[in-house]
């Protein structure tokens, strides 16, 4: 039976640690100019039901660098648009390609596809999670600071898919997440890890950021939450990551953001464009960590 990468919680600490270290290793090999083509003759299909810049380019460039070929599919151009089911789409596509990445709204659609797929399926973002993003973010922390175990992340702002993936990673890898989200935007408890000892709630963003290693946030207007978006803009002003919020964190704390970002809303320009920001490294590391994820799904654990 093949393995999918649908959610962080489906993986053990050992597996996540292997993939993270492998991402760092593959990045070093790539930067040294080494040619490594384990995916020669293999095909990745990418299905997008939502817009993307980073996810598309990082998967496509990464698979190509490892010797494979990619097919970009926008669901608006597919029979999905005419209500062909995810299951039938999976039955067809997975007979022709080796691995599939899907970005969609409802997580159930991803699971429907995976339930009928003959090949590994990767979550490229759903309304409930964004596991590749968090793997890239943790890789970025490890690359510049070392192990994340025992560290603390402050999430300031909208509770969303990216936060849920942070929380699930925290419960497996042993770090903490302080959450300061505006009142009235409750967390979707079905997405929280079973063991909630890794998370703590704070009303005041300054308290959530006190002494932490990473400060992170995300857009106030996530895709897939459209009915709430106007209300969100009105309520969020206090939850902007400003230099003052950063000054509450550790001196060498990193600022992270999955991007796209909106300067003057969830983060001030001084912070995202400032010296503590690692947002471009996070974006770049999406490509390297996804190579490691795809390699693990297609080839298993490797020594070399």
Residues annotated as part of the active site? 103, 130, 133, 218, 258, 286
* Spatial separation of the C-alpha atoms in residues 37 and 234, rounded to whole Å: 50
Smallest gap from residue 161 Cβ to ligand NVA (A): 5
Closest to 258 (Cα-Cα) out of 134, 148, 125? 134
Helix (H) or strand (E) holding 291: helix 279-299
300 Ramachandran zone, left/alpha/beta (phi>0; psi -120 to 50): left
- Choose among ligand NVA, ligand CP, none what residue 160 binds, the Cβ cut-off being 5 to 8 Å by kind: ligand NVA
Please list every residue from 235 through 274 that binds ligand CP, using CB under 6 A: 258-259
Residues in the chain: 304
Residue 187-216 contact track with ligand CP, rule CB under 6 A, x = bound:
------------------------------
Q: Is position 52 annotated in a ligand binding site? A: yes
Our finding on whether 52 is near ligand CP (CB under 6 A) is yes
Question: Could you tell me where the DSSP H helices lie in 70-129?
Answer: 86-93, 107-116
Q: What is the DSSP string of 172-208?
A: HHT-EEEEE--TT----GGGS-S-GGGEEE-SSHHHH
Q: Is position 259 annotated in a ligand binding site? A: yes
* Spatial separation of the C-alpha atoms in residues 77 and 80, rounded to whole Å: 8
160, 168, 216, 276: which one contacts ligand NVA (CB under 6 A)? 160
Which two three-digit tokens encode residue 285? 């590391």
Smallest gap from residue 185 Cβ to ligand NVA (A): 13
Our finding on whether 54 is near ligand CP (CB under 6 A) is yes
Place of tokens 């659609």: 109
Smallest gap from residue 260 Cβ to ligand NVA (A): 7
Our finding on whether 55 is near ligand CP (CB under 6 A) is yes
Which two three-digit tokens encode residue 6? 């649908």
Residue 221 · residue 227 · CB < 8 Å: no
Our finding on whether 133 is near ligand CP (CB under 6 A) is yes
Using the minimum distance from each CB to ligand NVA, give the nearer residue, 283 or 298.
283
- Choose among ligand NVA, ligand CP, none what residue 161 binds, the Cβ cut-off being 5 to 8 Å by kind: ligand NVA
Residue 272 · residue 279 · CB < 8 Å: yes
Our finding on whether 53 is near ligand CP (CB under 6 A) is yes
* Spatial separation of the C-alpha atoms in residues 227 and 215, rounded to whole Å: 27
* Spatial separation of the C-alpha atoms in residues 193 and 165, rounded to whole Å: 9
Our finding on whether 123 is near ligand NVA (CB under 6 A) is no
Closest to 46 (Cα-Cα) out of 102, 90, 85? 102
- Choose among ligand NVA, ligand CP, none what residue 53 binds, the Cβ cut-off being 5 to 8 Å by kind: ligand CP
Tell me which residues touch ligand NVA (CB under 6 A): 125, 160-162, 218-219, 222-224, 258
Interface residues with ligand CP (CB under 6 A)?
A: 52-55, 125, 133, 258-259
Going by the annotation, the residues of the binding site for L-ornithine are 161, 218
The binding site for carbamoyl phosphate consists of 52-55, 79, 103, 130-133, 258-259, 286
Binding residues: 52-55, 79, 103, 130-133, 161, 218, 258-259, 286
């Amino acid at each position: 039976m093949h393995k999918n990468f649908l959610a962080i919680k489906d993986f053990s600490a050992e597996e996540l640690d292997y993939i993270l270290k492998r991402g760092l290793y593959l990045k070093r090999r790539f930067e040294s100019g080494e040619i490594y083509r384990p995916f020669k003759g293999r095909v990745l299909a990418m299905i997008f039901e939502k817009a993307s810049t980073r996810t598309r380019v990082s998967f496509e460039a990464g698979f190509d660098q490892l010797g494979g070929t990619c097919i970009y599919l926008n669901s608006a151009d597919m029979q999905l648009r005419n209500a062909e089911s995810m299951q039938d789409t999976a039955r067809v596509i997975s007979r022709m390609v080796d691995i599939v990445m899907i970005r969609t709204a409802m997580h159930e659609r991803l699971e429907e596809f995976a339930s009928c797929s003959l090949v590994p399926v990767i979550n490229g973002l759903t309304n409930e999670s964004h596991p590749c993003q968090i793997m890239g973010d943790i890789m970025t922390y490890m690359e510049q600071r070392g192990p994340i175990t025992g560290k603390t992340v402050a999430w300031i702002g909208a509770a969303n898919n990216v936060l849920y993936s942070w929380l699930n990673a925290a419960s497996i890898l042993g770090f903490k997440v302080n959450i300061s989200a505006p009142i009235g935007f409750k967390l979707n408890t079905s997405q929280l890890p079973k063991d909630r000892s890794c998370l703590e709630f704070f009303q005041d963003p300054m308290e959530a950021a006190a002494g932490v290693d990473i400060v992170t946030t995300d857009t106030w207007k996530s895709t897939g939450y459209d009915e709430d978006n106007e209300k969100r803009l009105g309520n969020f002003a206090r939850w902007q990551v400003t230099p003052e919020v950063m000054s509450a964190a550790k001196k060498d704390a990193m600022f992270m953001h999955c991007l796209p970002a909106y300067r003057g809303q969830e983060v001030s320009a001084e912070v995202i464009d400032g010296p503590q920001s690692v947002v471009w490294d996070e974006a770049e590391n999406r490509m390297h960590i996804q190579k490691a994820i795809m390699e693990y799904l297609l080839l298993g654990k490797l020594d070399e």
